Amino acid sequence: MKFVICFVFCVVLLTSCATVFSGNSDDVTITSDPAGALVAIDGVPRGRTPLTVDLEKGNSYSVSVSKDGYEAGYATLTNRVVPAG
């Protein structure tokens, strides 16, 4: 029986508002259950979960997470500011 790989994207949160808007990139951690799934970003293999990658701000990324015997997972990461309210 195949199980869906569950993966979670956790952006490292910074401690002050000024810090959130500085810098050109953010660390993004990709995990899966079970661990050891292959992660590809924009079609390029980047490693196995758990994996932390440095992604440039202002871009969108297509992410796939796959492991033999499991259904692959896909997501699009977009870095944008959402207004409160």
Closest by CA position to 31, among listed 23, 39, 20: 39
> Measured between alpha carbons, how far is 33 from 37 in angstroms, rounded to an integer?
8
Chain segment 4-37, per-residue pLDDT in tens: 444 443 333 333 344 455 678 888 899 999 999 9
For the chain, what is the domain count?
A: 1
Q: How many residues does the chain have?
A: 85
Indicate which CATH number applies to the domain containing 57: 2.60.40
On whether the CB atoms of residues 51 and 75 are closer than 8 A, the answer is no
Say if 84 falls within a structural domain: no
Rounded to two decimals, what is the model's pTM? 0.70
> Measured between alpha carbons, how far is 64 from 61 in angstroms, rounded to an integer?
10
Average pLDDT, the chain: 77
Say if 85 falls within a structural domain: no
Boundaries of domain holding 37: 3-78
Say if 83 falls within a structural domain: no
Pairing mode of beta strands 38-41, 44-48: antiparallel
